[in-house]
Amino acid sequence: MKHGKKYIESMKSIDRMKLYDPAEGLEAVIGTSKAKFDETVEAHIRLGVDPRHADQQVRGAVVLPNGTGKTVRVLVFAKGDKAREATDAGADFVGDDELVRKIQTENWFGFDVCVATPDMMGTVGRIARILGPKGLMPNPKSGTVTMDVARAIADIKAGKVEYRVDKTSIVHVPIGKVSFGTEKLLENLNTLMDAIIKAKPQAAKGTYIRSLVIATTMGPGVRFNGQKF
């Protein structure tokens, strides 16, 4: 694989063989940022689970104390009073059948997160095959299927992120922007890791946090000592 000059330069600033402690590691991650935009900082956590088994799935959501630095567009599937509640709470798009048709016919994805009231799940189910692969399908485990739509919207806007182990046993989650600085990124990282550790399946055996790598959008991965969490 070929890398650009900035990436190669960033590589020189880190020790590829070292397992960094959290604060020192985040300083190193920030130091690798060479882009002209405010890069996202993302954590990649390999877990000691086998996602092929239902009892070893790791999935949930957590509100990061300092947010993600990203403006999140929220779509809410609701009717009547709940639709008005969603609008008042700051949802970007609110509707029912018309939004389902728009997604079906126009392949429209002008949103980042979907929330739905339980009574709307039959309707939303018609586009499950469209939303699912994009990670947009509302789910009770992540708090996006709820009657308390105002709370769900507030949490999402405040920095709620979902985490879910993929087929390679890795969880990929953004924890903020380079501009946050070490202290805020560390608070977000600690909150995320606490949530993932608490979500450990009983069926998981051996070492749970196998590895933790954090990188900016354009930078190289920095290896962290996952046992510090």
Task: Render pLDDT for 124-164 as a digit per residue (tens, 0 to 9).
Answer: 999 999 999 998 999 998 889 999 999 999 999 988 898 99
145 close to 108: Cβ distance less than 8 angstroms: no
DSSP 6: H
If one compares 32 and 3, the residue with the highest pLDDT of the two is 32
Grouping H, G, I as helix, E, B as strand and the rest as coil, residue 8 is helix
Question: pLDDT tens, 189-223?
Answer: 999 999 999 999 999 989 999 999 999 999 999 99
In this prediction the pTM is: 0.80
DSSP 85-147: HHHHTT-SEEESHHHHHHHHHH-----SEEEE-GGGHHHHGGGHHHHGGGT-S--GGGT-B-S
- DSSP state letter for 36: S
Residue 69 structure tokens:
């630095």
For residue 11, name the pLDDT band (cuts at 50, 70, 90).
Answer: confident
Per the CB < 8 A criterion, the answer to whether 66 and 189 are in contact is no
Is the pLDDT at 118 greater than 80? The verdict is: yes
Residue 181 and residue 30: Cα distance in Å, rounded?
A: 8
State both tokens at 24: 């020192």
